[in-house]
């Protein structure tokens, strides 16, 4: 069905969507916009729903991009309490409805093969938004659009190596188990820190992207280690802000006694960096609605898309860098 090429590896092969040459038409589905000129293209968005500032920004940006004015009928289906079965049910309904294209942000990495195969049989292209699937079989979807989690988390580790020339005792606050980005961020981070004996791991634990859970986890870690923790890697901003609260509650100074690095780059995190509470913030840019729209148009027109479209992201390593970015921050 699909042939692909990998952006990062720059090994290429071409992707042609089923050779149907669907210019003006939309995808395999007949649930709407495949017909006459001017028909809306129907997009089924199997989304994550409420999960924090990053997710809110990402899903709002997708919805603000795929508008009727732009020729789209976007059907937004957030998961119920992050439950994968509710996503699979929504996905199945979209295939049965015969939508023209499906956007998928998976709450869990595994368990998508059957659904993706059904969409393929129905010739409905699927585009992964942010989250990957595991095992990663890119013959089952048209493309994945996201910042590069490996590179983003490597940047956190590289900053730590420069910030702690003598090494440090560190702890990792992870996102939920089973989520592709969590595994990718661990892999990227460990590919650098794991090579440096001066860095001593005190462990890792999920705090489910939550400030409250991260605070409670870090309070336990600080007590268990007599506050002998110099560095915390929080896999998202909310958990990083929870670590700040725990450090302060322990009578320590965040940014001085304990340095905390996060991923996402939301406004609250940049404000905490500007205030010296966080020490490093690696952006995970959520604003890629336009990139998704271009990929949808290309795929529905029978054009080539890369199997992984990487969204550029930047890093912030000082209060000044945060202050410079804050005025125009959109998320
Ligand atoms: O998948 C991306 C992650 O999901 C973000 O880093 C986190 O904040 C969100 O909940």
> Residue 181 C-alpha to ligand 1 middle, in angstroms?
8
CA distance 237 to 272: 10
Residues at CB less than 6 angstroms from ligand 1 = 51-52, 54-55, 130-131, 181, 209, 236, 263-264, 284
What pLDDT, on a 0 to 100 scale, did the predictor assign at position 39?
A: 83
Count CB-CB contacts under 10 A for residue 249: 12
Q: CB atoms < 10 A from the CB of 233, how many?
A: 29
| SS3 of 190-240 | HHHHCCCCCEEEEEEEECCCCHHHHHHHHHHHHHHCCCCCCEEEECCHHHH
Residue 34 DSSP one-character state: T
**Which ligand 1 atom sits closest to the C-alpha of 181?**
1
Element (H, E) at 310: strand 308-310
What sign for the dihedral angle of Cα 97, 139, 26, 42?
positive
CA distance 211 to 244: 9
Burial of 9 (0-12, 13-18, 19+ CB in 10 A): exposed
- Over residues 57-72, the pLDDT tens digits come to 999 999 999 999 999 9
C-alpha 279/C-alpha 262 separation (Å) is 9
Residue 260: both structure tokens together: 């905390």
Rounded Cα distance between 23 and 278, Å, is 49
Distance 119 CA to ligand 1 centre (A): 26
Choice from 50, 52, 208, 239 to test ligand 1 binding pocket (greatest atom count within 8 A of CB): 52
H/E element, 308: strand 308-310
Q: If you ran DSSP here, which 8-state letter would residue 244 be given?
A: H
Strand partners, 300: none
Residue written as token pair 């976007």: 74
C-beta of residue 313 within 8 angstroms of C-beta of residue 285: yes
Residue 199 Cα to ligand 1 midpoint, Å, equals: 26
Q: Which residues of the chain have pLDDT under 70?
A: 1-38
pTM score: 0.90
Give the Å distance between the CA of 135 and the centre of ligand 1. 20
What's residue 36's pLDDT? 55
Within the chain, where are the H helices? 53-65, 84-97, 113-121, 149-163, 180-193, 211-224, 237-249, 267-274, 289-300, 319-325
Domains and CATH numbers, the chain: 6-145+286-310 (3.40.50.2300), 149-284 (3.40.50.2300)
């Amino acid at each position: 069905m699909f042939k692909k090429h990998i952006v990062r590896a720059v090994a290429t092969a071409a992707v042609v969507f089923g050779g149907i040459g669907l210019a003006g038409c939309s995808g395999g589905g007949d649930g709407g916009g495949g017909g006459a000129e001017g028909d809306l293209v129907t997009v089924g968005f199997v989304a994550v729903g409420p999960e924090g500032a990053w997710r809110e920004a990402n899903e709002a940006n997708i919805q603000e991009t795929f508008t009727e004015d732009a020729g789209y009928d976007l059907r937004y289906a957030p998961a119920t309490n992050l439950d994968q079965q509710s996503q699979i049910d929504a996905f199945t309904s979209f295939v049965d409805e015969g939508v023209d294209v499906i956007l998928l942000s998976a709450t869990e990495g595994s368990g998508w093969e059957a659904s993706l195969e059904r969409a393929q049989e129905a010739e409905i292209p699927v585009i992964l938004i942010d989250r990957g699937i595991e095992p990663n079989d890119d013959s089952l979807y048209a493309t994945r659009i996201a910042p590069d989690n490996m590179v983003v988390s490597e940047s956190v580790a590289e900053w730590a190596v420069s910030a702690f020339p003598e090494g440090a005792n560190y702890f990792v606050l992870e996102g939920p188990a089973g989520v592709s980005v969590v595994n990718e961020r661990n892999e990227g981070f460990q590919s650098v820190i794991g090579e440096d004996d001066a860095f001593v791991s005190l462990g890792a634990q999920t705090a489910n992207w939550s400030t409250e859970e991260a605070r409670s986890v870090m309070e336990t870690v600080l007590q268990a280690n007599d506050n002998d923790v110099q560095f915390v890697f929080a896999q998202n901003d909310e958990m990083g802000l929870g670590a700040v609260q725990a450090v302060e509650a322990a009578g320590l100074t965040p940014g001085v006694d304990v340095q905390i690095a996060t991923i996402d780059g939301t406004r609250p995190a940049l404000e905490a960096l500007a205030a010296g509470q966080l020490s490093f913030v690696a952006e995970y840019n959520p604003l890629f609605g336009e990139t998704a729209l271009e990929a949808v148009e290309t795929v529905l027109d029978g054009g080539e898309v890369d199997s992984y479209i990487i969204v550029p992201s930047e890093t912030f390593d000082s209060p000044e860098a945060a202050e410079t970015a804050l005025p125009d921050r959109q998320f």
